[in-house]
Amino acid sequence: MSAPTAPPGESGLEVALDAVGTVSIVVGVLLALVASVGLLSLPDVLSRMHAATKPQVLGLLLVVIGGALHLRTSVDVWMLVLVGAFQLVTAPVTAHVVGRLAHRGDGVRRDLLHVDELTDRPDTTDPGPDEPEPDEPEPEEPEPATRGRGRDGTGHADGDGTGRRRGRDGAP
C-alpha cells in the first residue's frame, strides 16, 4: 500500500489543516453535547451553570478554530475570532449574574455547598430589587383616591356641603 496522496491542486499542508480543523470541530461538537447533557441532568442551578459555561465555551472555541482552519480567508477568520472573543467575554459575566440571582432566590441547594461565602458574608453593595438604595428615601404610600368626591368627601368641592365654590381668599 502506498501513502495517501493529496488531491490534485492541494498541498500536504492544506490537507493537514483540513484534518486538524475537522478533528477540532468534532471535538467541539462533542463538548457542546456534554454541556447539554449536563444542563438536563445536574441537580441545581450552580451545577448546571458550570456545565453550561465550561465545556460549552471550550466546545465553541474548538468549532471556531476548526472553521478558521477550513475557511482560511481573512474575512472569515476575523469573523470567527470575533465570535470567540465575544463568547469569552460574555460567558463569565452571564455565569456570575445567574449564580448571584440563583443564590438570592431558591435556585441553590444549600446541602450541596461545602462553603457558602455569600451567606457567611452577605452582599451589602447591592441591596436588591425590593430594598431601597441607602441614599434613596423610602417610597411614600399613595393617598387613597376620592373619585367623584370633593376635598371633604361629601361630593362638594367647597368643604361646607353647599356646593358653592369659594374664592382664593376663602370668601364666597
Of residues 99 and 161, the one with the higher pLDDT is: 99
Q: Rounded to 5 degrees, what are φ and ψ at 168?
A: -65, -30
Predicted model pTM: 0.59
In a domain, residue 101? The reply is yes
In a domain, residue 31? The reply is yes
Per-residue pLDDT reduced to its tens digit, 2-43:
556 656 667 889 999 999 999 999 999 999 999 999 889 988
How far is Cα 154 from Cα 164, in angstroms, rounded to an integer?
Answer: 13
Domains in the chain, number = 1
pLDDT bracket for residue 92 (50, 70, 90): confident
In a domain, residue 69? The reply is yes
How far is Cα 172 from Cα 167, in angstroms, rounded to an integer?
Answer: 6
Per-residue pLDDT reduced to its tens digit, 110-145:
777 767 666 655 556 665 566 666 676 666 766 665
- Residue 148 CB neighbour total at 10 angstroms: 6
In a domain, residue 129? The reply is no
Q: How far is CA 109 from CA 39, 46, 102, 106, 122, in A?
A: 16, 9, 10, 8, 17
How far is Cα 172 from Cα 154, in angstroms, rounded to an integer?
Answer: 18
What CATH code is carried by the domain that includes residue 109?
1.10.287
Domain residue limits at 65: 13-114
21, burial (CB in 10 Å: exposed 0-12, middle 13-18, buried 19+): buried
